[in-house]
Amino acid sequence: MSYTFPKIELHLHIDCSLSFQFVSKYVPGISKEEYQTVYNTPVNCCSLNDYLACAQAAILLMQTKEQLVDATLDVIRQLEADHVIYAELRFAPLQHLTKGLTPEEVVEATLEAVHSYAGPVKVNLILCTLRHFTKEQSDLTADLVITYAANGVVGLDLAADEAGFGLENHQAAFKKVNAHGISCTAHAGEARGAESVIETLSLLRAKRIGHGIRSVEDTALLEKLKEDNIHLEICPTSNHITRVYPQESTYPVNNLLLNRISFGINTDGRAISNVTLADEYQWLKETKGWDINDMLYVNEQALQAAFISDKEKEILRIKLQEGFEPFIGSLS
C-alpha cells in the first residue's frame, strides 16, 4: 500500500533529523550501528528530556556554515523523498555558536540552503527559543525572526523542557514578534497537561501549539481550540518514544479527529524518532483505522495553519488536492 500522496509538515526540528549520510560526512568511518546508537532514540526512552538529550550530538555537527547548509539540505532531501510539498523547519540559532558564527550568520546559512534548493518542496524556517533560555536570549531570537521575516523565516517557537521551566523569560519575545504581525507557535501539552496549553495560549498568543496532544484531557479546552481555530502540531511516534502516551493503543488522536480539531501529523525529529510521515500515516491506518479522507483532512488543516500567505496556500491547496485524487478510495 502506497503512502506517496502529497504531505504538509509543520513541526520538524533540523537537529533531530540528520541522516546517516550527513553524519558520515562529518564523522568519517561511523558505522550504521554507531549512528543508530547515538542519533536514534531507543524505543524505551524514558522522557522528553531523554529525547532532547539525543539531539546534542547532532547539534555539535551543526556549528559551521558548511555544516548548517548541508544539514538543512539533508533534511529537505528527506522531505522530498517523503513526498512533502510544504514544510516549516525549525531550530534554535543560539545553539550553533561554538565555532564562532554569529547568530545572524547561523540563520543566513540555513536560509542560503533553503534558497539554493530548486526541487518540489516549498520550505520556510521557524526559529526556536528554548525554555531554559534567559530573557535576553529569547529577545535576541525574536529579533532574528523579525530581521529575517522577509527572507524565509516565518515564525517563532518555544521548545525544550516544558515541565522544568515557565514562560516568564519568553513573554516579551513573543509579544514583540506578534506586534510585528509575525506568527508564533509554542510547544505545550506534551510534558505537561492541558493546563500548559491554556497557559501558553493565554500568555504567548500562539496561533499553533507544538504537540498539544494532552489537550484532550480538558473538553473546555478542546472547544476553545475549535472556537479560536488553534492548530495542533501532532507528533505520534515522538509522543510514544517520550512516553507522553507510552501505550500506542491509548493514543487519543482520534478524539481530535472526531471533534474536528485543527491538527496535522508531523515527525518532530526524523532521525531521533526514526520515522517518516509515510510511516506515521501507515501506523494511523493500521492502528487507528484512518482512511484516505482522514489523511487528506489533516493535510488540509495543516496547510490552512501554515505561516504563509493565502495566495501561497491556494497554490499548494490545488497541488494537494490534485495529488490526493489518485488515492481516493485506495486506502479506505
Q: Which of 46-50, 111-115, 263-267 is predicted with the least confidence, judged by mean pLDDT?
A: 46-50
State the pLDDT at residue 210.
Answer: 98
* Beta-sheet strand order (sheet of 153-159): 7-13, 84-91, 122-130, 153-159, 183-188, 208-211, 231-234, 263-265
CA 109 to chain centre: 20
CB 113 within 8 A of CB 72: yes
The structural domain count of the chain equals 1
Question: Is the per-residue pLDDT at 131 higher than 70?
Answer: yes
CA distance 115 to 123: 9
Q: Which of 159-163, 165-169, 212-216, 263-267 is predicted with the least confidence, judged by mean pLDDT?
A: 159-163
CA distance 14 to 72: 7
What SS3 class is residue 155?
Answer: strand
CA distance 195 to 217: 9
Domain-embedded: residue 2: no
Question: Is the per-residue pLDDT at 49 higher than 80?
Answer: no
Catalytic residue among 88, 108, 190, 280: 190
State the pLDDT at residue 45.
Answer: 52
CB 68 within 8 A of CB 98: no
Domain-embedded: residue 1: no
CA 182 to chain centre: 17
The burial class, CB within 10 Å (0-12 / 13-18 / 19+), for 325 is exposed
Q: Max CA-CA distance within the chain?
A: 54
- Tell me, yes or no, if 280 is annotated catalytic: no
Bridge-based pairing of strands 183-188 and 208-211 is: parallel
Domain-embedded: residue 332: no
Residue type, 288: K
How many other CB atoms are found less than 10 A from the CB of residue 224?
15
CB 316 within 8 A of CB 322: no
State the pLDDT at residue 106.
Answer: 98
Residue with cell 565555532: 99
pLDDT band of residue 85 (cuts 50, 70, 90) is very high
Q: What is the mean pLDDT of residues 92-119?
A: 98
Question: Is the per-residue pLDDT at 243 higher than 60?
Answer: yes
CA distance 332 to 329: 5
Domain-embedded: residue 318: yes
Strand partners, 232: 209, 263
State the pLDDT at residue 212.
Answer: 97
The more confident residue out of 285 and 244 is: 285
- Model confidence over 267-312: pLDDT tens digits? 999 999 999 999 999 999 999 999 999 999 999 999 999 999 999 9
Question: Is the per-residue pLDDT at 46 higher than 60?
Answer: no
State the pLDDT at residue 196.
Answer: 97
Domain-embedded: residue 262: yes
State the pLDDT at residue 249.
Answer: 81
State the pLDDT at residue 330.
Answer: 64
Distance in angstroms between the alpha carbons of the first and the last residue of the chain: 11
Q: Which of 34-48, 141-155, 220-234 is predicted with the least confidence, judged by mean pLDDT?
A: 34-48
- Average per-residue pLDDT in the chain? 94
Q: Which domain holds residue 161?
A: 7-327
Question: Is the per-residue pLDDT at 147 higher than 90?
Answer: yes
- Residues 6 or more apart whose Cβ sits within 8 Å of residue 126: 88, 89, 90, 153, 154, 155, 156, 157, 185, 307
Q: Name the grid cell of 246.
A: 507510552
The CATH number of whichever domain residue 219 belongs to comes to 3.20.20.140
pLDDT band of residue 48 (cuts 50, 70, 90) is low
Question: Is the per-residue pLDDT at 329 higher than 80?
Answer: no
State the pLDDT at residue 305.
Answer: 98
pLDDT band of residue 54 (cuts 50, 70, 90) is confident
- Model confidence over 206-222: pLDDT tens digits? 999 999 999 999 999 99
Q: Which of 19-23, 55-59, 94-98, 207-211 is predicted with the least confidence, judged by mean pLDDT?
A: 55-59
Domain-embedded: residue 48: yes
| DSSP letter (8 states) at residue 91 | E
